[in-house]
Copies of this chain bind each other. A is one copy, B any other.
Amino acid sequence: MNDFDLGDFLPYQLAVLSERVSRDFAQHYRSRFGISRAEWRIIAHLSQANEVSVRDIHLRAELEKSKVSRAAARLEAAGYVTKTANAQDRRLVSLALTDKGRALMDEMAPIADAFQQRAMAQLGDDAAAFLAGMRALLHDPGETRDD
């Protein structure tokens, strides 16, 4: 016998919570806008910065680079994103939102904000500490290998 307690085990609880939250949120855009989770994540990412490479998203969004590559290809085909060779380093592909992509993001932003509001309400007094904890876990070195 051992004293392991699943109820407090971070990787497990985090995975359950994350999956549930992402699934719930995906209901708001999946069928309505016809984009997948990875595609949403890329669009959201691009809305925050001007020029982003596949690698940037791969590392920051914790998405397989092949997944990013294929999702970006789909988004380009749908007219939401442009892919251009980076002038400084021609190995890099610069991803950027088109006008259509920005319009999509503008339409999704209020939905995301509303969702966020509800989550914050659920957190109540713990909200600030929860976000602080998440940042601590995200930005601390930990033992994450970076490729």
* Category for how many chain A residues contact B: 35 or more
Max chain B CB contacts within 10 Å: which of A4, A61, A118, A119? Answer: A4
A20 to B62, CA, bound (A): 7
Give min CB distance, A70 to chain B, whole Å.
17
Q: Is the CB of A134 within 8 A of B4?
A: no
A110 to B109, CA, bound (A): 43
Interface residues of A (CB under 8 A from B): 1-25, 37, 41, 44-45, 47-48, 60-62, 105-106, 109-110, 112-113, 115-116, 118-119, 122-124, 126-127, 129-134, 136-138, 140, 142-144
Q: Is the CB of B133 within 8 A of A1?
A: no
Q: Is the CB of B9 within 8 A of A116?
A: yes
A83 to B145, CA, bound (A): 37
A6 to B44, CA, bound (A): 7
List residues of chain B with CB within 8 A of the CB of A11: 18, 21-22, 24-25, 115
